[in-house]
Amino acid sequence: MSQPSGPLAGLLVADFSRILAGPYATMLLADLGAEVVKVESPAGDDTRTWSPPVRGGVSTYYLGVNRNKRSVALDLKDAGDADAARELARRADVLVENFKPGGLTRFGLDYDSVSTENPGVVYASISGFGSGPGGRDLPGYDLMVQAISGLMSLTGDPGGPPYRAGISVFDVMAGLHATIGVLAALQARTATGQGQHVEVNLLSSALSGLVNQSSAYVAGGVVPTRMGNSHPSLFPYEPLPCADGELIITAGNNGQFRRLVEVLGAPELAEDPRFRGNEDRTAHRDELRPLLVERLATRTTMEWFRVITAAGVPCGPINTVDGGVRFAEEVGLEPVVQVGTADDAVPSVRNPIRFSATPADYRLPPPGLDEHGDEIRRWLASRVTPDPATDEERPA
What count of other Cβ atoms lies within 10 Å of the Cβ of residue 197? 18
Q: d(Cα 88, Cα 95) in Å, to the nearest integer?
A: 9
Residues 312 and 351 in one domain: no
| pLDDT tens-digit map of 297-338 | 999 999 999 999 999 999 999 999 999 999 999 999 999 999
Active site residue 171: yes
3-state secondary structure of 97: strand
Residues 100 and 202 in one domain: yes
Task: Output the furthest CA–CA distance in the chain (Å, rounded).
Answer: 78
Residues 60 and 89 in one domain: yes
* Burial (0-12, 13-18, 19+ Cβ within 10 Å), 68: buried
| pLDDT tens-digit map of 113-150 | 999 999 999 999 999 999 999 999 999 999 999 999 99
Q: Which of 31, 142, 171, 370 is catalytic?
A: 171
Q: d(Cα 152, Cα 158) in Å, to the nearest integer?
A: 12
CATH number for position 258? 3.30.1540.10
Asked, for residue 5, whether it belongs to a domain, the answer is no
pLDDT of residue 4: 75
3-state secondary structure of 360: coil
Residue 395 has pLDDT above 60, yes or no: no
CATH number for position 205? 3.40.50.10540
| Strand 54-55 relative to strand 58-59, pairing | antiparallel
Q: d(Cα 348, Cα 339) in Å, to the nearest integer?
A: 7
Question: Which range among 29-33, 36-40, 135-139, 370-374 shows the weakest confidence by mean pLDDT?
Answer: 135-139
Q: What is the DSSP letter of 153?
A: G
Taken as a whole, the chain contains a residue count of 396
* End-of-domain residue from the set 298, 313, 330: 330
pLDDT of residue 222: 97
| Burial profile 34-55: b = 16 or more Cβ within 10 angstroms, e = fewer | bbbbbbbeeebbebbeeeeeee
Residue 248 has pLDDT above 90, yes or no: yes
Residue 80 has pLDDT above 60, yes or no: yes
pLDDT of residue 19: 97
Residue 389 has pLDDT above 50, yes or no: no
* End-of-domain residue from the set 300, 330, 360: 330
The number of folded domains in the chain is 2
Q: What Cα–Cα distance (Å) separates residue 180 from each residue in 19, 176, 290?
A: 19, 6, 44
**Mean pLDDT, all residues of the chain:** 95
Asked, for residue 394, whether it belongs to a domain, the answer is no
Residues 324 and 274 in one domain: yes
Q: What Cα–Cα distance (Å) separates residue 42 from each residue in 70, 72, 78, 131, 152?
A: 15, 9, 11, 27, 36
Q: pLDDT: is 325 or 393 the higher one? A: 325
Q: d(Cα 200, Cα 127) in Å, to the nearest integer?
A: 6
Q: d(Cα 316, Cα 154) in Å, to the nearest integer?
A: 23
Asked, for residue 62, whether it belongs to a domain, the answer is yes
Cβ-contact 56, 96 below 8 angstroms:
no
- pLDDT tier for residue 103 given thresholds of 50, 70 and 90: very high
Bridge partner list, 201: 127
pLDDT of residue 256: 98
| pLDDT tens-digit map of 363-388 | 999 999 999 999 999 999 996 554 44
Task: Provide the residue range defining the domain that includes 262.
Answer: 237-330
Q: pLDDT: is 273 or 396 the higher one? A: 273
pLDDT of residue 386: 47
Asked, for residue 231, whether it belongs to a domain, the answer is no
Residues 103 and 196 in one domain: yes
